[in-house]
Chain A
Amino acid sequence: MNQALRLTDLPAHLRAGIYRYDSTDRDFLAARVEEFRDQVARRISGELTEDQFKPIRLMNGLYLQLHAYMLRIAIPYGVLSAVQLRQLAVLARRFDRGYGHFTTRQNLQLNWIKLEDAADALAALAEADLHAIQTSGNCIRNVTTDEYAGVARDEIVDPRVYAEILRQWSTLHPEFTYLPRKFKIAITGSTEDRAAVQVHDIGLTIRRDEAGEIGFRVHVGGGLGRAPVIGSVISEFVPEADLIAYLEAILRVYNAQGGRENIHKARIKFLVRDLGIDGFRALVDEEFAAMQRERYRLDPAHVAAIAARFAPPALETLADTAITDPDPAFAIWQAQNTRPNRTPGYVSVTLSLKPVGGIRGGMTADQMDAVAELADTYSLSELRVTHIQNLVLPHVRAIDLPVLWRALTALGLATPNIGLLSDIIACPGLDYCSLANARSIPVAQALSARFADLARQHDIGPLTLNISGCINACAHHHVGHIGILGVDRNGEEYYQVTLGGSATDDAALGAIVGPSFPADGIVDAVETIVQTYLTLRQDGESFLAAYRRLGLAPFRETLYAAA
């Protein structure tokens, strides 16, 4: 077993861009683990009933799923060190079955945890400054952001700084531990939205005003699930200093006025819908005006101190040069799975956790160890988890790409399908999840096998395909170009298809194409949709652009022609 190292044990160049816990953070985590150990013992002895224990275990990220307990581990804003990834491998081996699954909230789920082991698992996580707090319950969940934060060429401001500020603010916030419902925040600092900010309870877009001052456009009331809605802009520019005060004001209005009677109507989107965005904004403005703003003022020195912790790593002075390899497969992979960083000569490499026939987002402990090794060698020991369920090595020298590509190929992590049809997002679905109506994983596996021909996928072009096993929409099916939703019809699995969703700047909810398809018809249905697109597309027109021009009608006609 690998002995877990503390991040602070590492030399500075091996901990680039990772927020480092101080002793207060560590003492808190240790105390929290011991408290949970005691609570588990009391549950096992019968002193606590399941009704009493359930909210406690959920607060510690422990769910009871179909076959076992599931531990949802927070990866704060998707930033992970090689040390932490190794420790996740340790957990997967010691407490699970040697693998885990990365999720759309940039978290890792272990699916076969025993209650008796749960406190030990949390203690092992804490050794690597990780935890599972606020991965469940009606609180502010793990803040998500752009996987290319800090390195993207189109970045205006590094969103990790503010994601960390929000993490500190929201962690165990006394007022917001029992909100009407769970609360999800995403933040982006680039011109292209890679964090799906418009479909979160709060979505933040960092901007600069004409004077160069930092502020935030704030979307509120977005969300997927049972009643999907694109968020509304509540403010075009909240100055940096007022960020926390403004979010407090939003949360306070929601906490006071959000519905608590009906769990299905408790998310903030329903409150925003009922009041209208102008009515909601008026309440927030009133609350904001009445607050002691100085108390919540974001001190520039504090921001600077956190920014310093995300200071750019020491990089070599390199030039952007074309990298080639005698193997033609390299060029295909390089074009699809890497993107240039803003530092010349450096690239971000996306590791595809989507091999043909594989489980989307799944990774074995052996792969985790091997990838941690590669991160140490090629990416300053840093990784990112994407909300598309892949991993990124963010600081790779372009000249290292040929050798890195070979190493990733040997690990099965170099499928050149990022952004293509088989880069499917799929939730655990009915194979694991107690809330599911239908399976997601096997549908994704079958689709990736049907469309295994990469030349064909490249011909089809950019296409997002998301599969959720129930209306909770963990796989964000509403915003997939093609969305698939599992539904239950008298104990049998059916799949409803939506078309035209988008999770990025032009965010849109997909439209239901028609009656749902049985399990043995869903792969053919996707084939028909793709064929229809290929037949009707104009020169260079993407799937989404073609759909927007054509609408549902031609897809409906081909899908239901035989019926």
Chain B
Amino acid sequence: MSGTRKARRAAAVAITANRLLDGAVVWRTGTGDWSETFADAAVIAPDVLDTTLAADPLVVGIYAAALTEHATPASWKERIRAFGPTIGQDAAP
């Protein structure tokens, strides 16, 4: 999981996955639930990663996404995962 490898060098990380039932991007919250809202994501120090990546039957492809020092997604890919397509959520032509 190269995303997680990269995340270990990041300022902070958030645990993310896609929800099994609909594929929606979800973020792990401080209480261990999954939220569709990036703002709900628990911001974690990279060095505690190993204990937080246990599999969960509700989601697919759990990994740690790198965040900036301002706790925002560090890459374009994670920004788009967090906030939806840049052509609008309803990207009708």
Interfacial residues, chain A to chain B (CB-CB below 8 A): 43-44, 46, 50, 64-69, 97-99, 111, 113-116, 353, 355, 358-359, 362-364, 367, 430-432, 436, 438-439, 441-442, 445, 488, 491-493
> A50 CA to B19 CA in the complex, in Å?
12
Assess whether B87 is interfacial by the CB under 8 Å rule: yes
Interface residues of B in 5-64 (CB under 8 A from A): 18, 20-25, 57, 60-61
- Contact call A359/B93, Cβ cutoff below 8 A: yes
- The 10 closest A-B CB pairs, nearest first, are A362-B93, A491-B75, A431-B85, A68-B23, A114-B22, A359-B93, A69-B23, A99-B92, A358-B93, A46-B57
Assess whether B74 is interfacial by the CB under 8 Å rule: yes
What are 17 inter-chain pairs, A to B, with CB distance below 8 A?
A: A64-B18, A67-B23, A68-B22, A68-B23, A97-B90, A114-B23, A116-B22, A353-B93, A358-B93, A359-B93, A362-B91, A362-B93, A367-B93, A432-B85, A439-B86, A488-B75, A488-B76
Which residue of A44, A50, A493 is within 8 Å of B76 (Cβ)?
A493
Report chain A residues within 8 Å CB of B74.
491
- Contact call A491/B77, Cβ cutoff below 8 A: yes
> A367 CA to B93 CA in the complex, in Å?
10
Report chain B residues within 8 Å CB of A113.
23
> A491 CA to B6 CA in the complex, in Å?
11
Report chain B residues within 8 Å CB of A116.
21-22
- Contact call B21/A114, Cβ cutoff below 8 A: yes
Report chain A residues within 8 Å CB of B81.
66-67
**Cβ of B92 to closest chain A Cβ, rounded Å:** 5
**Cβ of B76 to closest chain A Cβ, rounded Å:** 5
- Contact call A364/B22, Cβ cutoff below 8 A: no
Which residue of A43, A44, A65, A441 is within 8 Å of B87 (Cβ)?
A441
Contact with A along B68-87 (1 / 0, CB 8 A): 00000011110011001111
Interfacial residues, chain B to chain A (CB-CB below 8 A): 18, 20-25, 57, 60-61, 66, 74-77, 80-81, 84-87, 90-93
**Cβ of A371 to closest chain B Cβ, rounded Å:** 13
- Contact call B22/A115, Cβ cutoff below 8 A: yes
Report chain A residues within 8 Å CB of B23.
64-65, 67-69, 113-115
Report chain B residues within 8 Å CB of A68.
22-24
Which residue of A65, A66, A97, A353 is within 8 Å of B92 (Cβ)?
A97
> A82 CA to B92 CA in the complex, in Å?
21
Given contacts A99-B93, A362-B93, contact A442 B76 (CB under 8 A): no
Which residue of B57, B76, B77, B87 is within 8 Å of A359 (Cβ)?
B87
> A197 CA to B1 CA in the complex, in Å?
37
**Cβ of A291 to closest chain B Cβ, rounded Å:** 43
Most chain-A CB neighbours within 10 Å: which of B18, B57, B66, B93?
Answer: B93
Which residue of B57, B84, B87 is within 8 Å of A67 (Cβ)?
B84
Closest to A43 in B: B20
Report chain B residues within 8 Å CB of A66.
25, 77, 80-81
**Cβ of B30 to closest chain A Cβ, rounded Å:** 23
**Cβ of A370 to closest chain B Cβ, rounded Å:** 13
Report chain A residues within 8 Å CB of B86.
431, 439, 442
Given contacts A362-B92, A363-B93, A431-B86, contact A436 B21 (CB under 8 A): no
Given contacts A67-B84, A114-B22, A439-B86, contact A430 B76 (CB under 8 A): yes
**Cβ of A475 to closest chain B Cβ, rounded Å:** 16
Report chain A residues within 8 Å CB of B85.
67, 431-432, 441
**Cβ of A58 to closest chain B Cβ, rounded Å:** 13
Most chain-A CB neighbours within 10 Å: which of B20, B81, B86, B92?
Answer: B92
Most chain-B CB neighbours within 10 Å: which of A66, A355, A358?
Answer: A66
> A46 CA to B20 CA in the complex, in Å?
10
> A442 CA to B93 CA in the complex, in Å?
12
**Cβ of B18 to closest chain A Cβ, rounded Å:** 6
Closest to A358 in B: B93
Given contacts A114-B22, A115-B21, contact A98 B92 (CB under 8 A): yes
Given contacts A67-B84, A114-B22, A441-B87, contact A364 B93 (CB under 8 A): yes
- Contact call A364/B92, Cβ cutoff below 8 A: yes
Report chain B residues within 8 Å CB of A50.
60-61
